Structure formats: C-alpha cells, structure tokens
Structure 1
Amino acid sequence: MNKKANYRQPNLFLEVIKGLGANKLTSALLVVIFVSSFAVVQVTHLARAQLIQQDKLLQQRDELDLQWRYLLVEEEFYSQHARIEDIATTQLQMKRPTSQNEQVIILQ
C-alpha cells in the first residue's frame, strides 16, 4: 500500500525537469536569469572593492598632504633670516665684515 501511495504522488523534481526539457524557451530564460543574477553579484562585489580602494587612496592622499604641510612649515622655520644669522654668529663665529676688512677687486 505504501508503494501505491508513492507511485500516485508525482516526483516534483522530475516533473519540473520534464517541463523544462519540453519548453526550451523557459529553460533558456532560466539560464539567462541565473547568469544575470551571478553577474549582478560579481559586479556589486567589484564595485564595493573599488570603493574600499578609493577610500584607502583618499586617506593616503590626506596623510601625504598633512606631511607636506608639516614640511613646508619646517622649511619656513629653518629658512628664517634671523635664525640663520643667529646660527652664523653663535655656532660658526661669523661676523659682518667692516669697511677695513673689505677688499675691492677690479677686473679688466
């Protein structure tokens, strides 16, 4: 009796496969739907990866810009005339020449 009950109930999976085999257009459309859905997933993944890469590059640009600003401030500090003159007089024992120490050379 159990065999008769199983025999009367159609196997749904086999019926779907038979139906798809009978209708080629439906099968083709089903394949196209699956391919397009996988393509959407792949494109979404690649777009997110590109956005993450863009965020990293923007952060790196900001860090480099900050370092550049620090370097400009440091360059301005080291190139101040008063600081250079102070180092020349204290560390290098340099002094301004007087009129007696000046020599004029005339080239012909």
Structure 2
Amino acid sequence: MERRPSLAKQIRHDLLAVGKVPLLLLGAVLVSAIAVVLMTQSTRNLIAKQDALLDQRETLEVEWRNQLLEENSLSEHSHVESVARNAFGMIRPTQKNEVIVKRPLSTNP
C-alpha cells in the first residue's frame, strides 16, 4: 500500500509551486479590502466631525445675532437716558445750569 501525502501538505505544495499568482492576487485583494474599510471608517469620522462643527457654527451665529440685537437695544438713546437718570441721577441741563468756558485761541510763550 502506497502512502499518500496529507491534504494540508498537498494544498501547501500546490499553492507554493503552482498557484503563486493566485496567492499573490488573494493577498492583494485582502489588503485592498482592509484599506477600503479603514478609509470608509475615516471618512465617516470626518463627516461626523464636520457635522458637529457645522452645528457649533450655527449655534455661534445665532448667539452673535442675539448679541447684536442686545447691543442695539442697549445703545438706543431712550435706554441710555433712562439709565443715566435712574442709576446716576443725571438730568438734562437748563440754561441756568449751563457754564460756558472760554479760552484763548492761541497762546504765546
């Protein structure tokens, strides 16, 4: 009875002796598949980060618009006048309260 080589040895021999090109192609396919998976994951992460940054930008724009509205309302003449009257006790001067200060136009040393 003739001894037959094991199946694992026969497959290894066929791959190394006869099937070098298919083996290299299999390796290239596996490497490219892993690269595709990694690039897809990286792209998804970047898109998620971009979405978060766009949301933050929108929030900041809304806050900026609110700040501009608040600045405009606080700088209105009526508001400034009411704060001056209530907080500092200021009043509009009358002719009796006005003091005119004159100074010479040129000074000679």
Write out aligned runs for 1:11-90 (5 A): 11=7, 15-22=10-17, 23-90=19-86
| Gap runs ≥5 in structure 1 | 1-6
The CA deviation string for residues 34-76 of structure 1, in whole angstroms up to 9 with x for no partner, is 1000000000000000000001101111111111111111111
Residue-pair matches, total? 100
Q: 1:14, CA displacement in angstroms? A: 5.0
Using the size of structure 2 for normalisation, the TM-score is 0.79
**TM-score, reference length from structure 1:** 0.79
Indicate the residue corresponding to 1:100 in structure 2: 96
Structure 2: 5+ residue stretches without partners: 105-109
- Greater mean alpha carbon deviation, residues 38-47 or residues 77-86: 77-86
Q: Secondary structure at the match of 1:33?
A: helix
CA shift at 1:18, angstroms?
3.1
Q: Could you say what secondary structure the match of 1:102 adopts?
A: coil
Give 1 or 2: higher helix fraction. Answer: 1
Distance change in 2, residues 1:107/1:37 (3 Å): same
Deviation at 1:15, TM superposition (A): 4.7
SS of the residue corresponding to residue 33 of structure 2 reads helix
Whichever residue aligns with residue 26 of structure 2, its letter is: L
Q: Structure 2 vs 1, CA of residues 16 and 59 (structure 1 numbering), >3 Å: closer, same or farther?
A: farther
CA RMSD of aligned residues (A): 2.0
